[in-house]
Structures are given as structure tokens and as C-alpha cells.
Amino acid sequence: MKSGAEFIVEVLEEYGVERVFGNPGTTELPLVNAIPDSDVEYTMCLHEDVAVGAAAGYASTMRYHREDVVGFANLHVAPGLAHGLGNIHGSKYSGVPLVVTAGNHATDFEHEEPILAGDMVKMTEDFTKWSAEVKSVDALPGMLRRAFRVALTPPTGPVFLALPMDVTTEEADHDVEPLGSVPEPGDGADGDVEEAVEAVANADSLVLVVGDGVARGDGVDDAVALAEATGARVHGEIFTGEGNYPTSHPQWVSFLPPRARLTSTLLDVDTAVFLGCSTNSTLWKENQDLVGDRTTCVEVSNDGWQIGKNMSADVSVLGDPGRVAGQLAEELESRVDDDTRENRLNTINSAKQMVEAKIKEMDHTEGNVELPTKYDVVEALNSVAPDAFVVDEGVTSKYALLTQYDIEPESYIGSKGGGLGYGLPAAVGAAVAHQDLDLDRRVLGFVGDGSYLYYPQSIYTAVREGLDLTVVVPDNRSYRILKDNTLDLFGGDEEDYEFPGMDLPDIRIEESARSYGAEAERVDDVGEVEPALEELVESDEVGVLDVQIPGK
């Protein structure tokens, strides 16, 4: 006989979960106290959303190295779960295979509506693939198996289980149910693939947009093969969260920005292939379509919900994006003649030049020009840590990173859902994964000051775990994204607005980091950035570099 909590730990061991990230309370104590007698490690996080974000960063990193890895986060009843919802939302949009649990009052006590109570299933069902409460210890084996399978089945995503205290303390004699093989999307149907081949082979101008489904399906090499077979110009999808294509490849041009004006220009072609994309949408509603009527859209996804969701899919292929890309590449290698391929390749440089000019136009760095710019920060990253594993939530500095730093496959994860506070916890989780895998590689968090201030206590976990982590904060000391959005929405110049409450006081990020035990520096001179970063990267300690950049 074993308690429900002991059985849960047995399931975790059997299903290959090596680590639980948690911010527990009393109702979670049965599970927390059962873990030390197992091979599972418990990583304490000082906030529920930190636990979820760290578990997500851990799972997103581990799946590059191991199959069927699920992140596991354990939270505390209704208010704690509410705190964790932000990064459950982020995990949904990032397609993270994640199981989140939260303790609850005993089933025969919930009707009294005690403190900390709430309908946790309703709270989470909008942001999960499946959400349920385990009503009996006898239901644990089947519900845990289902939770892991749902999280792992493409398109992957988060699952939630509420665990009442009587379920985790009651004893039973159960065996772990075999997880079984997780179904994978296969090749595209022959007729659909042939239709896509015809559209691509006969295109006058061609763009390939690679989405996060490519990296999640281990399909980067196939995407490259497709691009090379066709001569396509290559872009990354809006709000990319993975390294889906090597940005050093000659056919790569840029990530698509979440603005219709530039993106619609880049997609103004005869044929556009969207491979594994899920964010064909702008930041807000705009009176301009991303894809015009003259463009034939070919959409490839393992998620039928995404195909044709926000634009007409003239050709649809349901299947694994990598495998379908391989099918298309094999057929198109002989169907696209050398002259057509060369003519397509010759258009790429002009697109690159146009993108570079537009990116500079979009940049708002007026102010104290003596400060380092976000581009100076990225230049220092290129010099000091070109091979780092990057976790990105740079927000207003994001496109400086994406346009100047080579994003290689299995080297980058980013915030995709739009909510702040994902990046720093995810960087901690990624560093834990590298430590567990015994990889000699520095993890670099690139996190804006606003995002950093959501959960600065993430640094506590990093220091406690002795992680190989450096966090770089491009610090504009303002709510810069709202200022930028104001200018985009209403027009005019920055001096035309007062921006109430959007300029921040002199918050000392480096002092906060030191209070948790990290090494930390603050720099405000371009000549200081690179040496300070180099010192922190070469250190064995957790490091935080706060770089004062123009922004106010």
C-alpha cells in the first residue's frame, strides 16, 4: 500500500520526470515530502509563475536532447494557481509539454468554501489542452497517464490536474499504467503533397515562412532542404519562440514583425508556404491583410486548427512539418529547374536590404545618445557569447537580438504568448536542463527590464541551484512598449505625449540580484558593456548585467 502522493512520485519516475518545479503550500506537502525518497529532484521557486516558467523552460530545452520529456510544476491551491496562470498561458502558445498540478482541500471539505478554495478546473481550461480534478485515489493511475499523453501528443501543450489532499494522503495499491507510445503526425497525404508541389514549382515568386512546429518536430534540416530545393526566400513566423532555421543560411532574410505594413510587403509574392506556423496574426487589428489576394497560400501543420485559421489556405497539408518538408523537398528537387531556382535566389539580397532599412526606421532610441543602445548590447553578446543558449524576452529589444545575433537550431527559445514574466523563469529552467544534461554551455537570458521586474526572485532559484546562467537586461527604465505602441496607433512624435506613469524611477536591478546572491553589475557606457559581460560569463556564479540604454 502507498499513499496517493507516493504513487504520484512513482509515476513521475516511471515516466522519466527527473525534476519538479514548485511553490508549495500545506496541501502540497504530501507530494513534497514523498519526493526525497525518490530519484526525482524538487526545485523550489519563490513564486508560482516562476515555477511554471522554469518548468516550461526546462521542458523546452530538454526536448532538444531527449524524447517524451514533460515539464512538471506543482502549485498551491486556487490563489497560487492564479499566480501561475500567466506562464501557463505562455506555455500554451509556446506548445510546451507541461503537466501542472495544484493541491486542493479534501473533497469532503470543498463544499464549505474554505479559504484558498476555488474552481481550479475553470481557471485553467482556457489555457490547457485538458484540465481536471482527481476525485479519488483510484482515479490517479488513469488520469496521470492521460495527462502525460495529452501533454506529449502533438501539438504539445500544458495540462492541469487538481489534487485534493485526501487523494494524495489516502493509501491504495495501484500499479503505474504504461504510458505507451505517443502518436506522432506522419507524412502528408499524397494528393495534398502533390497539390503543394504544383503550387511551389509553378510559382513566379516564392517565400517560405518557418514556424515553431519545425523545431518541435525536429524538422530544421528538412526545412533547409526545402528552401534549397526551391530557391525560396526564408522568413521566421511572427512571434517566433524557437530556432526553426539557421539565420546564418544565405536564403534566410528575417523574422516577420507583428506589423502588417512590413509583413504584408514581405509576403507580397505569388506563392507563400507557411511551414509549422501558429501566429499568423498582428499585434492588434490592422486595416491591412498580411497576405493579399494574389498570393497562393500553402499551409503545412500538424494542427488542423491552425490551417486556414486567419487566412485562406489555398493548399492544406496536415502532417508533421518536418516530414512534409522532406516530402516536398524530394519532389521539388527535380521539378524546379536551375534557372527558376537561380532567379528566385537573386531576389533575396534586395529583400534583406529592405528589411534592414525598415528595422532602423522602426527603432526609437531618441534620448541620451551617450548610453549604449540595444544594438550595442547585442554586439557585445556576439563578441563574448556567440555560442550561448539564449532565452529571450527582450520585448522592445527583441528585434535587435533577432536581426543581429545568429539564431541557430536548438540554441534559442523565446516568449511567444505575449504576457510578460516568462523569460527570466524560463532561463532558469533552461539552465537547470543544461546542468542536468551535463552540457558545458552558458545559458544567456536576454530579458527586458519590465519583464525582469515581474519575477526578480527567479535569481534565488538560480543561485540556490548553482546554475551556469548570465542574464542581460537591456534597461530603458520606461514602459517603452506602450510608448512605441502609442506612436504606432495614434501617430505624431514622442514629444507630443506626456506618457503618464510610463517613466520608471531609478530601480536598481543589480542590487536586487545581489540580494539573492548573484554577481551583478550596472553599466551605462558603451565601452563597459563587453568587459562587464565577459567577466560575468566567465564566472562560475549566476550573473546579472543591467545595461542602461536609451528609452526615456
How high is the pLDDT of residue 255? 94
How high is the pLDDT of residue 364? 47
| Closest to 204 measured CA to CA, from 4, 100, 339, 68 | 339
262-319: per-residue pLDDT in tens? 888 999 999 999 999 998 887 777 778 889 889 999 999 999 999 999 888 999 999 9
| Rounded Cα gap, residues 284 and 481, in angstroms | 13
- The conformational region for residue 33 under phi > 0 = left, psi -120 to 50 = alpha, else beta, is alpha
Residue 360 phi, psi (nearest 5): -65, -35
Residue 334 phi, psi (nearest 5): -95, -20
> SS3 for 195-230, per residue?
HHHHHHHCCCCEEEEECHHHHHCCCHHHHHHHHHHH
* Residues contacting 203, CB < 8 A, separation 6+: 269, 270, 271, 296
Query: Structural domain boundaries of the chain?
Result: 2-172, 190-352, 363-548
In CATH terms, the fold of domain 2-172 is Rossmann fold (3.40.50)
* Residues contacting 416, CB < 8 A, separation 6+: 90, 93, 94, 212, 239, 240, 241, 279
Residue 392 phi, psi (nearest 5): -115, 125
Taking CB atoms within 8 Å and a gap of at least 24, the contacts of 365-370 are: 365/549, 365/550, 365/551, 366/494, 366/550, 367/550, 367/551, 367/552, 368/550, 368/552, 369/550, 370/525
Q: Helix, strand, coil shares of the chain as percentages rounded to 5?
A: 45, 20, 40
The full DSSP string for 341-372 is HHHHHTTHHHHHHHHHHHHHHH----S-TTSP
* Residues contacting 493, CB < 8 A, separation 6+: 487
How high is the pLDDT of residue 32? 94
Superfamily of domain 190-352: TPP-binding domain (3.40.50.1220)
Q: Which residue type occupies 411?
A: S
Tally the residues of the chain: 552
For the chain, which ranges sit under pLDDT 70? 359-369, 552
Greatest CA span in the chain, whole angstroms? 75
How high is the pLDDT of residue 109? 78
Span 363-548 CATH architecture: 3-Layer(aba) Sandwich (3.40)
Q: Where are the alpha helices (DSSP H) in 366-409?
A: 374-384, 398-404
Rg of the chain taking only CA atoms, in angstroms: 24
| Rounded Cα gap, residues 440 and 470, in angstroms | 14
| Rounded Cα gap, residues 432 and 441, in angstroms | 12
| Rounded Cα gap, residues 281 and 521, in angstroms | 38
C-alpha cell at 524: 551605462
- Within 10 angstroms of residue 257's Cβ, the number of other Cβ atoms is 22
Reply yes or no: is the peptide bond before residue 155 cis, omega within 30 of 0: yes
How high is the pLDDT of residue 20? 98
**Spatial contact of 275 and 300, defined as CB atoms under 8 Å apart:** yes
HSE-CB at 99 with a 13 A cutoff on CA atoms is: 29
**Spatial contact of 117 and 39, defined as CB atoms under 8 Å apart:** no
| Closest to 362 measured CA to CA, from 409, 398, 337, 329 | 398
How high is the pLDDT of residue 466? 97
| Rounded Cα gap, residues 48 and 102, in angstroms | 10
Q: Is the dihedral of CA 107, 111, 112, 113 positive or negative?
A: positive
- Within 10 angstroms of residue 488's Cβ, the number of other Cβ atoms is 15
| Closest to 27 measured CA to CA, from 114, 99, 85 | 114
Segment holding 60, helix H or strand E:
helix 48-62
Topology agreement, domain 2-172 and domain 363-548: yes
